Amino acid sequence: MEPRPQTTRPALFRRLARAGTAVMCAIALFVSSLPQPAQAQGLGGSIIRDAEIEGLLRDYMLPIYRAAGVDAGAVEIVLINSKVFNAFVADGRRIFVNIGVLLDAKTPNEVIGVLAHETGHIAGGHLARLRQRLDSMQTMAIVAMLLGAGAIAGAAAGGGLNNGSGGAAIGAAMAPQEMMRRTLLSYQRAEEQAADRAAVNYLTKTGQSAKGMLITFKRFADQTAFSQRFIDPYAQSHPMPQDRIANLEDLAKKSPYYDKLDAPALQARHDLMRAKLVGFVDGLQGVGRRYPMTDQSLPARYARAIATYRSASLTSAISQIDGLIAGQPQNPWFQELKGQAYLENGRAADAIPPLRRAIALAPNATLIRTMLGQALVASGSTRDSDAAISELVRATARDSKNADGFRQLALAYARKGKIPEADLASAQAAFASGDFGTARQIAERAKTGFKRGTPGWLKADDIASYTPQKMN
């Protein structure tokens, strides 16, 4: 509701004006003490998309979602390119996971435990309740600051800000803020504990151990062992590590599945996933430290092949990848890697056959289909442009957030001279990237190329008329 203009100010507001500096300090200190949005915790790096990793995490979490009563199709796991061990829920439908979680976790169970905890926040509606709590506390803050401001104003009118009574008045104004801050943090600690309990319950329901979750929190405790001596336990948004571990250990060991290990096939996929991340993120030197040449395991060879194609000889890399394929000819991710190595080294035509084989082995992997479309576009053949459009339309239809897929689709349409379709795909790419202003601008242009009421016109109109929802 818009504020109404006021011609005369009540006496309280006149007093507030005289004590404005002190009140603004109080407001600033109160706001700075509130928890920041979850997005701020881990979005400094870029988002990572990978079909193999996303598929593995989906397989990890489907049983957990069922146990929690959460619609798996409504939850998105977003990978952040940060080595800090962190995962968090942003809005009740997205779990953000730093790759540091995947790199540090030696078993699938450790990752599943972390994500089960975040699912507990979603199933428990903790974010919605936190927003309600913030709303109520903001109202309390206004009342408290107005009352405190009255005392400050009274002290100012009597010259008390210079004689000591002003300090007492400011202290009176600030005391409620500290009380409310600690009340809110206490509420958050309770929600964290509730999510821990929920996670153990989901793991037990699905016949899995909570030991991995316990290992994770023990790792946190080791990292903070020294600093805990100086921490005020009532000024934290999470339970103190030693308390959390004690509570978790008690719950976890009551489960009949406490000593149950992950299935060997799942562990093998987990090891390959970690090796893939090391190969892409750490390069040859990092791979050498984690996987010395004496290590001839499949994960070690996977990591070396990735790092080699990215920073050394393509010929050597292809030889290594062919060795991987010979060992596991039905593994789509090794075929994908071969295609990606060729594509990123300017050999698009050579990338097409292994990417086609990868799609045959993993037909629902939209990111591989997108890469195949990119290779078909980059090959320069007009005939391949038709195939590229077919592949990219299928990929983006299944994944509306696939900005790269829409960009490649725009190029394929442009090569065919289909400019309205190219504009629409460009608008969809901008929209999927969150650039709504650019998306609207291009969509308006695309509308002029379609007959009114046709599917293309309607899609463009939806984007052109879209208004982002404001966060409360």
Residue 21 pLDDT: 36
Residue 47: pLDDT over 80: yes
Q: What is the mean pLDDT of residues 306-335?
A: 96
Rounded to whole angstroms, the Cα distance separating 89 from 117 reads 10
Length of the chain: 472
Scanning 399-469, the segments in alpha helix (DSSP H) are 403-415, 419-432, 436-447, 455-464
- At residue 20 the predicted structure's pLDDT band, cuts being 50, 70 and 90, is very low
Summarised one tens digit per residue, pLDDT across range 29-41 is 333 333 333 333 3
Taking the C-alpha atoms of 88, 93, 99 and 101 in order, what is their torsion angle to the nearest 10 degrees?
A: 50
Residue 421 pLDDT: 97
Rounded to whole angstroms, the Cα distance separating 152 from 140 reads 18
| Domain ranges for the chain | 7-262, 283-464
| Residue owning tokens 């929690």 | 68
Produce one character per residue of 316-326: b if its CB has 16 or more CB atoms within 10 Å, e if not.
Answer: ebbebbeebbe
Q: What are the phi and psi torsion angles at 98 (to 5°)?
A: -70, 145
In this prediction the pTM is 0.74
Residue 387: pLDDT over 70: yes
Summarised one tens digit per residue, pLDDT across range 95-136 is 989 999 999 999 999 999 999 999 998 887 645 444 444 444
- At residue 312 the predicted structure's pLDDT band, cuts being 50, 70 and 90, is confident
Summarised one tens digit per residue, pLDDT across range 393-422 is 999 999 999 999 999 999 999 999 999 999
pLDDT above 70 coverage of the chain, percent: 70
| Residue owning tokens 């007093």 | 15
Residue 65 pLDDT: 95
Residue 383 pLDDT: 81
Q: Please give the helix or strand (H or E) that residue 211 lies within, else none.
A: helix 211-223
- At residue 228 the predicted structure's pLDDT band, cuts being 50, 70 and 90, is very low
Of 49-53, 192-196, 268-272, 298-302, the least confident: 192-196
User: DSSP string of 324-376?
Assistant: HHHH-TT-HHHHHHHHHHHHHTT-HHHHHHHHHHHHHH-TT-HHHHHHHHHHH
Residue 232: closest CA among 194, 185, 170: 185
Q: Please give the helix or strand (H or E) that residue 98 lies within, else none.
A: strand 94-98
Residue 458: pLDDT over 90: yes
Can you read off the two tokens belonging to residue 361?
């082995």
Helices and strands: H and E segment counts in the chain: 20, 4
Rounded to whole angstroms, the Cα distance separating 267 from 258 reads 17
- At residue 241 the predicted structure's pLDDT band, cuts being 50, 70 and 90, is low
Rounded to whole angstroms, the Cα distance separating 345 from 407 reads 20
Residue 347: pLDDT over 90: yes
Rounded to whole angstroms, the Cα distance separating 47 from 438 reads 20
Contact 324, 338 (CB under 8 A): no
Residue 180 pLDDT: 43
Amino acid at 189: R
- At residue 28 the predicted structure's pLDDT band, cuts being 50, 70 and 90, is very low
Residue 246 pLDDT: 81
Q: What is the mean pLDDT of residues 319-325?
A: 98
Q: What is the mean pLDDT of residues 453-460?
A: 96
Residue 402 pLDDT: 94
Residue 19: pLDDT over 90: no
Return the higher-pLDDT residue of 145 and 200. 200
For the ranges 151-160, 184-193, 258-267, the one whose mean pLDDT is highest: 258-267
pLDDT above 90 coverage of the chain, percent: 56
In a 10 Å sphere around its CB, with 0-12 CB exposed, 13-18 middle and 19+ buried, how is residue 51 labelled?
buried
Residue 106 pLDDT: 96
Residue 94 pLDDT: 86
Contact 408, 374 (CB under 8 A): yes
In the 8-state DSSP scheme, what is residue 237? S
Rounded to whole angstroms, the Cα distance separating 387 from 430 reads 23
Residue 89 pLDDT: 83
For the ranges 45-49, 134-138, 377-381, 451-455, the one whose mean pLDDT is highest: 451-455
In the 8-state DSSP scheme, what is residue 404? H
Q: What is the mean pLDDT of residues 80-90?
A: 86
C-alpha to C-alpha distances, 117 to 90, 367, 409, 416, 430, nearest whole angstrom: 14, 28, 38, 49, 33
Return the higher-pLDDT residue of 47 and 59. 59
> Other C-beta atoms within 10 Å of 293: how many?
8
**C-alpha angle with apex 338: 320 to 352, nearest 5 degrees?**
150
Of 193-197, 391-395, 420-424, 447-451, the least confident: 193-197
Pairing of strands 47-48, 94-98: unpaired
User: DSSP string of 141-195?
Assistant: HHHHHHHHHHHHHHHHHTTGGGTSHHHHHHHHHHHHHHHHHHHHHHHHHHHHHHH
Return the higher-pLDDT residue of 438 and 238. 438
Q: What is the mean pLDDT of residues 442-465?
A: 96
Q: What are the phi and psi torsion angles at 286 (to 5°)?
A: -65, -40
Can you read off the two tokens belonging to residue 353?
């056959």
Q: What is the mean pLDDT of residues 242-261?
A: 87
Q: Which residues pair with 96 in a beta bridge?
A: 78, 88
Residue 247: pLDDT over 90: no
Rounded to whole angstroms, the Cα distance separating 28 from 150 reads 18
Residue 236: pLDDT over 80: no
Residue 362 pLDDT: 96
Q: What is the mean pLDDT of residues 71-98?
A: 87
Tell me the average pLDDT of the chain.
78
Scanning 224-263, the segments in alpha helix (DSSP H) are 241-252
User: Is 283-464 in CATH node 1.25.40.10?
Assistant: yes
Q: What is the mean pLDDT of residues 338-354?
A: 96
